[in-house]
Amino acid sequence: MRILCLHGVGSNGSICESQLQPFIRASDPSYEFIFVDGPEPCERGPGTVKTDQNDPQRMAAYHDGPFYSHTRAYDPQSMQAAIEHLEEVIDEMGPFNGVLGFSQGAALTISFLHQQASKPLPFKFALCFSSVIPCSADAAVCDNLIDRICPLDGSDAASEEQKLFSELLEQTVIPAQQHNSMLPDYDISIYRGDQGLLQAPRLMPPSLTKEKIRIPTVHMTGKRDASFMRSMSKAALGLCEKGSFKVLEHSGGHELPKSPADVKAAVRAMEWAIGRMAHL
């Protein structure tokens, strides 16, 4: 069993490996976890405050760089570049049975799987830990809404679809910016005028996105994670077909599970996904 692992923003493969050690130790010893770096140099990720130096979840605060992002930005062109890099990794280091992503790595996983949903997939299952908001590489996604997204200022003339798109922004991206958690960052005003529309991230409101991811997926978030982060993970979950996913919570925040009970639950969920993949 070979599982590709994608780190969060402002991190790297070796940091992710250290954060994932409790999960790896509890997994079947025959499973191989393969860690890679994102292609874009980046500043240290948010949330890596110095706490317990021996805590593997906070090791990023004690690692020197370099740090990486999977994408330069979240506009369609940047997301396409991130997906193409992921495809290169799969071609060079695969084949893989599954993929595991944390935070930005989980969001890239969802974006990739959604784009490839109608094609044969290189993964049979996906583990998504604390996913942030997935963005599409398709510039046509919600394009008819983005070019009229003035309902950000509360316009009563907004259509129901525009309101849904705006609500997703207000529940996820806007509070993330207010808490300095958007990395790479972008100016929300690009949704308000013609000048920046090509750079506007194509969020995928689940209720407006018909195509769903059908392979087994596991989604795990922390009970103590910020509400806007949990909203991002909920949006990622909404892009998966009902009946094909398992949802769990662990006792921590925006981090990978580390308590014995949480790790055991995550491993059981992975085994559920592996069992389901046999029926694909």
Q: How many Cα atoms within 13 Å fall on the side-chain side of residue 19? A: 28
* Helix/strand/coil for 67: strand
To the query of whether residue 103 is one of the catalytic residues in this protein, the response is yes
Q: Which of 27, 69, 78, 103 is catalytic?
A: 103
Q: How many Cα atoms within 13 Å fall on the side-chain side of residue 27? A: 19
Are 241 and 217 within 8 A, CB to CB?
Answer: no
Is it true that the peptide bond before 184 is cis, omega within 30 degrees of 0? yes
Where do the H-state alpha helices sit in 148-242?
160-171, 173-178, 227-237
Q: What single string gives the DSSP state of each residue in 108-141?
A: HHHHHHHHTTTS--S-SEEEEES----EES-TTT
Contacts of 240 (CB under 8 A, 6+ apart): 110, 212, 213, 214, 217, 219
Residues recognised as catalytic? 103
